[in-house]
A and B are shown apart, each in its own frame.
Chain A
Amino acid sequence: MVTVEQGRIRSFFEGLVVLAIILVLIQTFLEDVALIGGWSWEVRKVLLISGFIFDLFFTFEFLIRFFSAAFRREAGEYLLHRKGWIDLFASVPLLLFNSGPLMAAVFLGGGTLSGLGGVFNVLKVAKAIRVARILRLLRVLKVFKKIKYTGSAMAQRHVALITSLAVTVTVATLFLCTLIQPLLPSTPGRAEVLETTETRLLERFDGTDSRQLAEALPTLLIIKEDQQTLYSRYENSYYRSMFGPTDYQHRRIGNYDFFLSLKPELVDRAAQSLAFFVLIVLLVLVFLLYYSPHFALTISDPVHIMRRGFAESGYKLEVEIPTRYRNDDIYRLAALYNREYLPLKERMKHQEDRLHSDLSLDTIGDILVDEE
């Protein structure tokens, strides 16, 4: 039995979660835009930290929901039928493999660069996991209940199901492709060719013409030899404001330390990620704004009218049958309802002199309540 106070707390919590979902979607979108748009590291750092906080929040939310369901012996029901699987995939893995390692990288600081090559490999996997965040979009479907045409619970369920399927299949495909791609035997791609060329160029460097090497290698930022800077593409202040620990790579070849920008690759990935994000958002919007009204108008509305006609003796509006859909089962049923049931109902009402009142006991409860 849920008390009014518990109901209020639950409602507040649900509202908070929906707000967090909307904010995290905006944050995900901005994270990519920030990379593509070349926003300063400070701004991107704020976005990364907020992403981490959101992941932490959703992980806690999932754990609370999961253990609460498990306590009631409904863990399976929660995971399979109440979108618990979305809560799971869009929380724990993100925290462990995406925002968690990113935070570690951010707070390791720019001075400890040696481990970042390894972190970068983790981030490649994390990028694939990151798309799972979009799954949260499915959690806000209930926000759209208030949208015109989706008043029917049946319409909401069907639209939610088809939207979930479409988004899940898209995200799963994208995720699997990103994970499997490196494992598949294939001829070297553009990135691999560039990396090989880059390595060759760095190996040939003998310390004499650093400027020529920098011209040949646009990603080259700094060359150092025994802590002495041989070459730097930008001023130190620029690096501080525009580069974070995840934006560059350190390679030591011979006596030389090379610092290479990872931004071109990160920007490519961000553009790809943004495209998928937009694709999925559009997919959801099309389902909600086009398919949902279509479903309501051609399925749930005629059903609603017929249900009222059967249930309420005074209700006798016919179902409007659009010519283009007249052969649909639902409209063939509606045609029978119009042609046979309503006239029969009218005759029966006349014959039996059936009583009907628009007033119901519920509407005068204020009088009856004291007597109960």
Chain B
Amino acid sequence: MSSEKEKAEGFIRHLLENPALRNQTPLQKEEQLLAFLELNARALYPTLSSNRFFPGTSWAHIRSILITELFKITDFALKGYMNRFIVEQLDMSFAAFLGMPRVSQEEMKIELLKLTGQVAHTGEGRRALTGSFNALAYRLSEKYIEQIYQTRNYIRFELEKVQRLRMSKEELKHMLKVSLLLRPAVYLVSGDGRETSSSVRRQRGNFQPSVADKVTQGLAERLPHFPEAAIRSGVESNISFIDNSRVPATGRLTLLLSSLAHEYKPNMQIDRGAVSPEKSWFSIARKNYRYFGYDIKMIDELFKIAAEQGW
């Protein structure tokens, strides 16, 4: 059996080292490999069922061994990154502005670390975490918040005047990062391990404000040191802004950045004559804003920023 695992690990590591996946985050690589195995099952089976790998084994079994090893490798990388990011880089001082001045940052970090670990073990949660994780890894919230604060337009107005987040720019960046990490936590409420059942998947499309309240309450119990506004921001980022115009600005921004980051490819080779990747993404998002429940005014502003910055 250990030989099987070694072979599976060797095969997975070989795929992960492929130049096509260079610069991608562990979760992106995992998604790519899952899709690759699914799409090429028929072509891969003769090789993988040969003497070199798993002779006389069914595809279902081979797939299961490979995916187990893939998850192990991803989990290891993910855990390392999350530990470093949450413990060393995340600053929870924004909680003081949200009505929790004496809250312990350490407690908050431990709770968040535990929660993200649980999210990573739910099928849909893990998938939803990809966008948030990428947004953090590629520092999207940092670069867009910088520009949003310089341009002083709609988004800043929404953040400061409507949502009344009169905190510093740096604190807002950290709140947005927490919101990004809490966004996939909605799948924990009905999560059942790694299984990506269709019932869970459907829930994503039909996430209603009333459900959001229950999920926020459920999460608040798991995160007792977190301000409710931060949890709500993450949870309500799953609600369509078209259905509910009361989604907080940080929630709307979380949705946009997480969606942008889901298939984000840094240092992507841009074909001559093509629009830059982020500008393209916002332009397409603008046309699909009703479908995905985006705030069109936010898209317009972010589109303009991406265009001006050549992103």
Contacts and interface: CB of A to CB of B under 8 A. Distances in A.
A308 B272 CA distance: 12
Contact of A343 (B52, B272, B274, B284): B284
Given A346-B284, A357-B39, A359-B36, A318 B15 contact: no
B291 to A, nearest CB: 5
A225 interface: no
B280 A358 contact: no
Interface string B8-32: 0001001100111100000000001
Contact of A371 (B15, B19, B46): B46
Given A320-B274, A371-B46, A361 B284 contact: no
A169 B272 CA distance: 33
Interface residues of B, number: 39
Interface in A285-312: 296-297, 301-302, 304-305, 308
Contact of A358 (B21, B40, B287, B292): B21
Given A355-B35, A363-B20, A364-B15, A305 B284 contact: no
Nearest to A358: B20
A364 B14 contact: yes
Contact of B11 (A358, A367, A370): A367
Given A317-B270, A364-B15, A357 B32 contact: yes
B284 A302 contact: no
Contact of B35 (A339, A357, A363): A357
B15 A301 contact: no
Contacts of B4: none
A302 B275 CA distance: 11
Contacts of B32: 357-359
Contacts of B292: 350
A99 interface: no
A45 interface: no
Contact of A359 (B18, B272, B288): B18
Nearest to B43: A361
Most chain-B CB neighbours within 10 Å: which of A297, A343, A360? A343
A305 B274 contact: yes
B271 A305 contact: yes
Nearest to A149: B272
A307 to B, nearest CB: 10
A314 interface: yes
A142 interface: no
Interface string B256-293: 00000001000000111111110111011001100110
B272 A355 contact: no
A316 interface: yes
A75 interface: no
Nearest to A368: B47
A357 B52 CA distance: 25
A343 B288 contact: yes
B52 A370 contact: yes
20 contacts: A302-B273, A305-B271, A314-B263, A316-B280, A316-B281, A317-B270, A317-B276, A317-B277, A317-B280, A318-B284, A319-B273, A342-B280, A343-B288, A350-B291, A355-B35, A360-B20, A361-B40, A361-B44, A363-B18, A371-B50
Given A316-B280, A363-B20, 16 more contacts: A304-B271, A319-B275, A342-B287, A346-B288, A353-B201, A357-B32, A357-B35, A357-B36, A357-B39, A359-B20, A359-B33, A361-B44, A364-B18, A367-B11, A367-B14, A370-B47
7 pairs of A and B residues whose beta carbons are closest in the complex: A301-B273, A343-B287, A357-B36, A317-B274, A357-B35, A355-B35, A318-B275
